[in-house]
Structure 1
Amino acid sequence: MLIKWIRLRNIRSYLSEEIHFPEGSTLLSGDIGAGKSTILLAIEFALFGFSTDVSGETLLRNGKPSGSVELCFDVDSKNVIIKRNLKRGKESFSQASGYVIVNNVKTEKSAEELKAFSLSLLGYPEEYLKKKSMPLYRYTVYTPQEEMKRILFESREERLNSLRKIFGIEKYGVIRANAVIVASSLREKMRELSSRIEDLARKKEELEETMKEISGTQERIGKMKPELAALSEKKQGLSKKLEILEEKRKRAAGLKSAISSYESAIAEKAELCESRRSAIEAISRKISVFTKKLEEIPAAEKADEGKLENELESISRELSLKEKSLAEAKEKERMLLLRKKEIEKEIAEEDALKNQLSLREKELEELASGKPGEEIEREREEKEKALREIIENKGRASLSKEESERVIAEIAKHKVCPLCKQEIKEDYKEHLKEEEEKKKKSNRELIESLSKEQQELESGIKILKEESKRSSERDARSNKLSAETDSIKKLLSEVEKKKTLLKGIGKEIAQMPKADAEREIGALKEKEAEQKKILKQARERNAGIALREAVSAQLSRERELLTSAEKEAAEADKAVSELNKRKIEASGELKELESTDKQWEDAKSELDSAMKREKDIEVLSAALESEASLKSRNAGKIEAEIKEKSKDKKRFELYRELEQMISDKFTALVSEMEKQVMSSIHYEFGKLFQEWFSSLIEEETMSARIDEDFTPIITEDGHDTSAENLSGGEKTAVALAYRLALNRVINDMVSTIKTKNLIILDEPTDGFSSEQLDRVRTVLDELGLRQMIIVSHEAKIESFVEHVIRITKQEHESRVLN
């Protein structure tokens, strides 16, 4: 991986800056607090997002709602650009979506997707995706100097845990812990299986006993079958006998029912004979009455009622049309008179309308003389624009004043630079304080001047708003008067038209005929009354003729009824004679079947007895069958349990073998593997550490080595001491040697990572003498890396790097000097 450039927007002290990194060694030079370390944090943020040491609060510039970092680098012959965005919320900071460009192909991605992309691209382990820290990057590419010193002076256990994580050796401990858990789980399963298989022998004995009981029950069921067969044969013979007797019983019942029916029919026919004789007498009397009445009604000729009704309808229709025409004429006259009255009223209002028109035209002339509203509005907008500019300038001045006050407070509070841990000189602090006081005074005077201008503009805007309101009211009144004037003119034009219309209405009323229509209606009413009288007389004559015809028809019907009744009486006498004959025959046959009921009851009793015995045997057989079935199912369950317990026994033996293998062999093997890996790392790490330390230290009598816990041991004049007892420069030498050895070992062990050609050193020479700085040059040359970025304020380092990027900070803004 080779970094090409980085672009910062609203990142700490950077507003908008782009820094290019050439291949080779590059120095980021500048005063303490100029913004050098910010660039290194931004590179890490662009690659991996938020982490334990890189947060939105530490990156986003104060007072800014958002910011971004854009990083361009080459890896595996690919040109890659990653952009991440920062947002400030009400209570926290968040990462917005960004993008990646690979060989000019752009892809939008979320913050989490960008991290996954970087890990995959650089060959870092996938498990880092869910972690807050990035140890591989921190110990191979960029390690803040203070963080490296911390790993040197922390406790033995903490140091070993940190190194295990860096080298990926912690997985051996995890494997051992998991092996213990698996062995414990196997033992727990063995205990569970042991409790389940302890009754296996007893279950086998129980199955054998159950099978013997099933065999005995089946034998008892077999002995019942011959008796059931005999009972079945007896039932069939009795059932056939009962069927024959049942047929005879049905015949006897049918005969009884027939005799009863014959008796009922005989009584019914006798009653019918009596009824028909009475009817014959009544019909004879009616015939005598109708004959006498027919002789009393005279014969006459029938009148044509339809013709008379048509003539009456024609007269009535003509009368209705005449009356309707007269009513329409009267209604039209009434409407014309009403319209005439309305028009006369409207013509009378003409003078009032002319007076109203004159008043409104005069008021419109007075309203037209005022100042135009557009001119007032334009003047007000200009003043409001000037007011907004003053308020914005005032706000910027207030922010600048507050920033100066904050900087003065920060200068007074800190004696050591929070980034590089260097002491800040008092004369430098005083210089900064004087600069900020001047800015503070200038901003205060500017705020007072702008406040006066603001008051004057606000007063002028208020007056213009009142004038604008009055202008709007005049415009509204003028529009209303114009509309009313147009309406009055239209009404006056309508009055002239209505005068002409009034003359036409008077002429139409005078020409309407009414007297002739009333005389015609009177004549038609008299003709209608005469026709109604003629029609009434015709209807009365026709009613008499219809009555004679009805009496004649009724007389014919009564004679027919008489003939029918005489015939039915003769037939009923014949039927009574035939029914008596059939009754006598049925009574004789019924006497022969009297003993059938007794024979049927004896056979039925014998059949019931046989069926009861058969049912008792079947119930007992069913009980035995159920018992045998229940025992068979129970035997099946026991057999299934035996089968399952046999499987559990095999599993128990398998788990026992696995548990013994894990406890006795696997754990020891994992520990030995970890020991071998740590031994290999320790050897290589110690060798490199000794070489780098010897190259950096001036004292020939001083040497260094790594003990079994990876703790640096310093030997001076034949005596061992810890790194804590060294001077500041010597501690820095130990930390740098440890850092470079760690970098080399990790790059050699982890073959997949793509950051082997890059290293970033942050203040690596703190406390070094001039001779040690010369030694650093030799060490850096020996590293042989394609790209090296160094952050330092040591001027001598500029002489042995290929490129220098100078960072300066003015007015709280960091910039790169060209």
Structure 2
Amino acid sequence: MIIKQLVLENIRSHESTEIEFAEGKTLIRGDIGSGKSSIMMSIEAALFGKKLKELIRKGKESGKIELTFEIKDENMNLKKYSVIRKLSTSTQKGGEIIYHSEGNKKEFSADELSIEVTRILNINETAKAQEIFQAFVLAKQNELKKLIEGSKKSDVDERTTIIMRAFEMEAYKFAIDNTVRLNQRIKNVTIGKKGEIKKLNEIEKSIQEKNYKIKKMKNDLETIKSSRIKKENTYNSKKDEYDKIKEERTKISVINSLIKSKEREINEKKEDILNNDKKRNIKKDKLVKSGKTIEQIRKGIENLVPLDGLRNKEDRLNNQITHLKMDMNRKGDDAKRYEEIQKDGKCSTCGREISNSSGYDELISTVNMEKNDIEKEIIKINKEKNAVRETIEENQKNKDLKRDVEEINDIDETNKKLDEKIQGLINEINEQKVKLNELPDENKLKLVEDEKNIAEKEFHNENNRLTIIDRDLQNEMNNLNEMNLELEKLKQTKLDINKLDDINEWLNKYFINTVQLIEDHVIHTINYKFNELFKEWFELLVEDTSKTVRVDEKFTPIIEQNEFEQTFEWLSGGEKAGIALAYRLALNSLIRQQPIGFRPELLMLDEPTDGFSKEQLTKVSNILSDIENKQVIIVSHNQEFTKLDQIISVTKENDISRIQTHSYGD
């Protein structure tokens, strides 16, 4: 853990303070009461959230502490965090953490924030996290000796507990306690399981009886299956016979419908013959009225002049008559005009006077003669035209009579065909009646239906018997399966009991003893390493070579002089300070050697030289300056410290602390 920055707002004498921390050795110096220790207290408060209200500046209702630090996670990846605590005199406020490496921020309640910080610091003991931090990282003013003072059992237990929890030694005790509890649970489970397997022999006997019963039921089932097949075949045979007869019986209605249809068709054709005879009689009456025989009609038609020629001749005569009438009218007009000229004595056209009108009598006579000749010619042509018309009409009558004759012949032919069809339909009806007589009667159908119903009932009864036995057999087999499963379960339970007994024996005889041996070995190793470090720091800090130190198995410091033990209370102030500082430095050096878990690179010392004589100050200051931690923060009002990387000067004016940061030697 390396502290990068601390921001304070309204924290004791710090109204608004921002400190950037460097790696290496940092000295926070200033006069007594200038606000140096408030910086250390704020760092601790930001991490663990204790006694926050006491830090709020007098006269203010709120404050804020923001601590930014870097630390390696369990995968040795360097992560950066900012912990922000919001302080209030009235209520307990929470805060937030900025996860710089992940690029996000999260808010927490006050308690949740402390738990999350403990997790980030890799301290597994949340309840004792602050005590562990104080023992291994932060030595506050006047508290260096606190950890090693006191020889009462409670003092020793507390010191040992803090050290053991820091090194996660509680895990061994936890493992042993859990093993003891597991041992007892195994015993309880075994007792219950032994009660379960008492019915093992009873179940085995029941399974034998069940197997015998199932075997008999299977034999009965096969017998019924064979009987069922026979009855099913009988039923299917009777059903097929019944269906066949029923299908044949359905043909009766079809044949009857067909006969009726053909009878209707015969009646329709007879009706057609009657209608045709009526038409034939009408045509024959027409021939009788004409007075001609059929032979005469045929001969007259053979001698006919083509109608087209006659009609052309008639048209030509009509045209001649028309032209003659026009000539006759013109002649009449000429005679009329001559008579008017003769009468008037002048020309009606030019008005010229006529002196002699005798010539007009001849003209009038000539015109009238020509008119009469034309009139005679018209009469002659009309006679010829009338003769042509009569011939045309006669030809038309002969044609109509011929058509009637042909229609009579067609009617006779049609009626002949109708008679033939009627006879064919009569023959078909007779054939269908023969087939109808060959079909089974109603009594045969009823007899076969009764036989089918009996066979069906017997088949269903046998099928029901088969279903019931099959169902009962399945139930018995299911019961057998359940009993076999229970048997296997009980056998497995018996094996489990043996395994549990083996496990119990192994836990009691080997595991617990092994864990205790490992715990003793680890504690001995920690104790040994700590002892060596403690001696090393003691020899550096205390000049009296007649005195030696060591720790016992409870990590209680033992001071000896000339092989005689001395109590801590009878030591001088400088010796007490040296031993206390040596103990803290040894703890910090040892915790940093852990491969996992809480292994801080930070060491914070608040007035660590307090109690040393003036002669010891320079030596102690040089020793502290040579500490190998990546970051050491020392609070002191003494000026003897050298080999520093950063100096933070704290001054106080008008009850407000001011900060000035500079490198050593500036």
* TM surpasses 0.5: yes
Match of residue 810 from structure 1: 653
Alignment of structure 1 residues 237-248 onto 2, 5 Å: 246=246
State the Cα distance separating 1:164 from its structure 2 match: 0.9
What is the one-letter code of the residue matched to 1:179? T
Distance 1:63 1:251 in 2: 112
- Contact 2:176-2:512 within 8 A present in 1 as well: yes
What is the one-letter code of the residue matched to 2:627? L
Q: 1:657 aligns with which of 502, 505, 510?
A: 502
Match of residue 446 from structure 2: 601
State the Cα distance separating 1:650 from its structure 2 match: 2.9
Q: SS in structure 2 opposite 1:814? A: strand
Match of residue 606 from structure 2: 762
The structure-2 alpha-carbon separation of the partners of 1:220 and 1:146, relative to structure 1 and needing over 3 Å to count, comes to same
Match of residue 785 from structure 1: 627
- Contact 2:592-2:599 within 8 A present in 1 as well: no
State the Cα distance separating 1:227 from its structure 2 match: 5.4
Alignment of structure 1 residues 276-291 onto 2, 5 Å: none
- Contact 1:252-1:593 within 8 A present in 2 as well: no
Distance 1:773 1:233 in 2: 124
The structure-2 alpha-carbon separation of the partners of 1:625 and 1:110, relative to structure 1 and needing over 3 Å to count, comes to closer
Which string of whole-angstrom CA distances, capped at 9 and with x for unpartnered residues, describes residues 521-563 of structure 1? xxxxxxxxxxxxxxxxxxxxxxxxxxxxxxxxxxxxxxxxxx9
- Contact 1:85-1:96 within 8 A present in 2 as well: yes
Match of residue 139 from structure 1: 135
- Contact 1:60-1:66 within 8 A present in 2 as well: no
Distance 1:71 1:148 in 2: 25
Q: SS in structure 1 opposite 2:157? A: helix
1:798 aligns with 2:643: no
Which string of whole-angstrom CA distances, capped at 9 and with x for unpartnered residues, describes residues 239-285 of structure 1? 67657755764555455445655677788889999999999xxxxxx
- Contact 1:702-1:715 within 8 A present in 2 as well: yes
State the Cα distance separating 1:162 from its structure 2 match: 1.1
- Contact 2:607-2:635 within 8 A present in 1 as well: yes
State the Cα distance separating 1:169 from its structure 2 match: 1.6
Please identify which structure carries the higher helix content. Answer: 1
Distance 1:700 1:60 in 2: 48
Which string of whole-angstrom CA distances, capped at 9 and with x for unpartnered residues, describes residues 461-519 of structure 1? xxxxxxxxxxxxxxxxxxxxxxxxxxxxxxxxxxxxxxxxxxxxxxxxxxxxxxxxxxx
Match of residue 370 from structure 1: none
Distance 1:651 1:730 in 2: 63
Q: 2:47 aligns with which of 37, 46, 50?
A: 50
Distance 1:275 1:210 in 2: 94
Which string of whole-angstrom CA distances, capped at 9 and with x for unpartnered residues, describes residues 89-128 of structure 1? 886353463757xxxxxx856589xxxxxxxxxx997455
Match of residue 183 from structure 2: 183
State the Cα distance separating 1:185 from its structure 2 match: 4.5
Q: SS in structure 2 opposite 1:605? A: helix
- Contact 2:269-2:422 within 8 A present in 1 as well: no
1:619 aligns with 2:464: yes
Distance 1:750 1:590 in 2: 112
Which string of whole-angstrom CA distances, capped at 9 and with x for unpartnered residues, describes residues 146-203 of structure 1? 4444434464433221121123322212222332344345445545654554433333
The structure-2 alpha-carbon separation of the partners of 1:660 and 1:583, relative to structure 1 and needing over 3 Å to count, comes to same
- Contact 1:124-1:753 within 8 A present in 2 as well: no
Q: SS in structure 2 opposite 1:649? A: helix
What is the one-letter code of the residue matched to 1:32? I
- Contact 1:169-1:674 within 8 A present in 2 as well: yes
Distance 2:237 2:633 in 1: 120
The structure-2 alpha-carbon separation of the partners of 1:571 and 1:196, relative to structure 1 and needing over 3 Å to count, comes to farther
What is the one-letter code of the residue matched to 1:50? L
The structure-2 alpha-carbon separation of the partners of 1:55 and 1:575, relative to structure 1 and needing over 3 Å to count, comes to farther
Distance 1:182 1:29 in 2: 56
- Contact 1:71-1:83 within 8 A present in 2 as well: yes
1:212 aligns with 2:212: yes
- Contact 2:5-2:69 within 8 A present in 1 as well: yes
The structure-2 alpha-carbon separation of the partners of 1:682 and 1:277, relative to structure 1 and needing over 3 Å to count, comes to same
Q: 1:774 aligns with which of 603, 607, 615?
A: 615
The structure-2 alpha-carbon separation of the partners of 1:214 and 1:692, relative to structure 1 and needing over 3 Å to count, comes to closer
Distance 2:21 2:458 in 1: 113
CA RMSD of aligned residues (A): 5.9
Distance 1:678 1:66 in 2: 41
Q: Which runs of 5+ in 1 are unaligned?
A: 101-106, 113-122, 280-562
Percent of aligned positions with the same letter in both sequences?
22
Distance 1:40 1:278 in 2: 143
Alignment of structure 1 residues 346-361 onto 2, 5 Å: none
1:742 aligns with 2:584: no
What is the one-letter code of the residue matched to 1:662? L
Distance 1:239 1:745 in 2: 101
Distance 2:540 2:498 in 1: 62
Distance 2:225 2:581 in 1: 105
State the Cα distance separating 1:34 from its structure 2 match: 0.6
Deviates more, 1:596-605 or 1:699-708: 699-708
State the Cα distance separating 1:138 from its structure 2 match: 3.6
Distance 1:197 1:56 in 2: 65
Alignment of structure 1 residues 271-670 onto 2, 5 Å: 585=430, 589=434, 592=437, 596-670=441-515
What is the one-letter code of the residue matched to 1:183? N
1:677 aligns with 2:516: no
Match of residue 201 from structure 2: 201
State the Cα distance separating 1:705 from its structure 2 match: 6.4
What is the one-letter code of the residue matched to 1:36? K
State the Cα distance separating 1:627 from its structure 2 match: 3.1
Match of residue 37 from structure 1: 37
- Scaled by the length of structure 2, the TM-score of the pair is 0.57
Which string of whole-angstrom CA distances, capped at 9 and with x for unpartnered residues, describes residues 423-460 of structure 1? xxxxxxxxxxxxxxxxxxxxxxxxxxxxxxxxxxxxxx
The structure-2 alpha-carbon separation of the partners of 1:111 and 1:57, relative to structure 1 and needing over 3 Å to count, comes to farther
Match of residue 333 from structure 1: none
How many residues are aligned here? 506
The higher relative CO (CA closer than 8 Å, separation ≥ 6) is in 1
Match of residue 95 from structure 2: 94
Distance 1:44 1:659 in 2: 47
Distance 1:798 1:161 in 2: 37
Distance 1:741 1:209 in 2: 78
Distance 1:238 1:697 in 2: 123
Distance 1:759 1:595 in 2: 120
- Contact 1:193-1:652 within 8 A present in 2 as well: yes
- Contact 1:85-1:98 within 8 A present in 2 as well: no
Distance 1:630 1:73 in 2: 68
The structure-2 alpha-carbon separation of the partners of 1:258 and 1:124, relative to structure 1 and needing over 3 Å to count, comes to closer
- Contact 2:241-2:448 within 8 A present in 1 as well: yes
